[in-house]
Amino acid sequence: MMRSVLGWVLLAVGLGQAQEFDLLLKGGRVVDPRNGRDGVMDVAIAKGRIAAVEPEIDPKRARESANVQGLLVTPGLVDIHVHVFYTAGNPGAWAGDLSVQPDAHSFRTGVTTMVDAGSAGWRNFEMFRTTVIDRAKTRVLAMVNIAGFGMISDATEQGDFDPQAVARLAAKHKDVIVGVKSAHYQKPDWDSVDDAVEAGTRAKIPVMVDFGYFLPERPYYELVGKHLRPGDISTHMFRAPVPFVDKEGKLYPYLVEARKRGVKFDVGHGGGSFVMRNAAGSIKNGFYPDTISSDLHAGSMNGSFMDLPALMSKLMALGLPLKEAIRATTSTPAEVIQRPELGSLHVGAVADVALLRVMEGEFGYWDNNRGKVTGKERLFCEMTLKDGQVMWDWNGRMGRDYRTLGEIYGIRPRVDQVIVPPQD
């Protein structure tokens, strides 16, 4: 009797040890800009959080481990500009809905957090929450459009602005609303921008502006120099009409001034908001994007944007250092949306992790106006974890040799029967 009690105690201790970590990522190169880490390290995960980051962690301390040698281990990518709720754009340009399903694009590209940038406005946000945000496996956050019905069409974005309604909504949905959006505004005044800023001030959240139409009555330099507050975001920074460099290739000083004020510059590549000319001039002058986002939607996904790791690679081909590309898709976007628990691999952080391969070779990158560069590297996502769960495993690292799984694996007890045809 005594012996069996002792046996149970020993078993419990043994189990306790074995379950210290749920998963160990072994031998990858950890690049974690928030914590100034870049080097080969093991990363242990327990209960959906980062539990240890050390040069050597014994696999016996983890229930499962994955060999990730040769891969970059970065925080799960945070894409602060996507469209995952009904979005139509210009009348006549598209039939039906331009938005995409978040889970169809996120994990396979290392993205664990997506911020919908104003697809829904303050009148239809709750429908968005119920039908998309609460059902997606991807962490979907949102910037609410200052226009009531958001991006149902370009026409709906020309009015129906209500800063108080947006602020009320943001307070009610604090867990998912991280900003306010103004986009596609065509009139020569600042109403859309200024009302979005008023909403952002009331709700204490940032505003993202898609300037849309560049009119002489409201120049871009006034947007970033005057109208946006510190912490607000100018998306589509490499859109063709944004003045970047003069004839000598020198950066216009208004950009540096705006950055000094605290305005954030976001890529938001999209279907037509990126010209290589501006990206090249910016990077050459060391004016790196604060955040690299996709502007993912059905109209951009098959164009020159492709996916977020491809966009990071494109900017690297123009001279952006790898670590800057990772910073701009992890720690900085997390800070910009005031979610410091994301985009980081510190012990205790949410265990969102992207495992990226740096492929070497000859790779072509282009913009939607056929401007092209070539590069020697390309990032490719092999594995993605969200809240410690493996959500994407391109190389089957979590699998086991099927021949070791016994003869009846996959058959559900009591429900399935293996009925072999009569032999004759």
Which residues of the shown chain bind Zn ion in the complex (CB under 5 A)? 117, 295
Q: Which residue's CB is nearer to Zn ion, number 295 or number 335?
A: 295
Task: Identify the three-state secondary structure at position 255.
Answer: helix
**Pairing relation of β-strands 21-32 and 72-75?**
parallel
Q: Which residue's CB is nearer to Zn ion, number 27 or number 289?
A: 289
Q: Which residue's CB is nearer to Zn ion, number 153 or number 384?
A: 153
From CA 208, how far away is CA 142, in angstroms rounded? 11
Q: Which residue's CB is nearer to Zn ion, number 76 or number 150?
A: 150
Residue nearest to Zn ion (CB): 295
Helix pair 191-203, 163-172: axis angle to 10 deg: 40
Report, in Å, the least distance between residue 305 CB and Zn ion. 11
* Residue 90: how many other CB atoms lie within 10 Å: 10
Q: What is the 3-state secondary structure (H, E, C) of 350-403?
A: ECCEEEEEEEEEEEEEECCCCCEEEEEEEEEEEEEEECCEEEEECCCCCCCCHH
From CA 312, how far away is CA 325, in angstroms rounded? 6
Q: Which residue's CB is nearer to Zn ion, number 117 or number 140?
A: 117
Helix pair 308-317, 276-284: axis angle to 10 deg: 60
Report, in Å, the least distance between residue 209 CB and Zn ion. 11
Q: Which residue's CB is nearer to Zn ion, number 33 or number 118?
A: 118
From CA 177, how far away is CA 140, in angstroms rounded? 9
Report, in Å, the least distance between residue 245 CB and Zn ion. 25
Report, in Å, the least distance between residue 81 CB and Zn ion. 6
Nearest to 157 by CA among 98, 217, 209, 225: 209
From CA 357, how far away is CA 345, in angstroms rounded? 18
Report, in Å, the least distance between residue 47 CB and Zn ion. 35
Q: Which residue's CB is nearer to Zn ion, number 251 or number 298?
A: 298
Report, in Å, the least distance between residue 254 CB and Zn ion. 24
Q: Which residues neighbour 405 within 8 Å (Cβ) at sequence distance 6 or greater?
A: none
Report, in Å, the least distance between residue 319 CB and Zn ion. 26
Instruction: Please answer whether residues 304 and 365 qualify as being in contact, where contact means their C-beta atoms are separated by less than 8 angstroms.
Output: yes
Q: Which residue's CB is nearer to Zn ion, number 28 or number 148?
A: 148
Task: Looking at 248-346, list the stretches that DSSP marks H as alpha helix, in order from N- to C-terminal side.
Answer: 253-261, 276-284, 308-317, 322-327, 331-336
Report, in Å, the least distance between residue 303 CB and Zn ion. 13
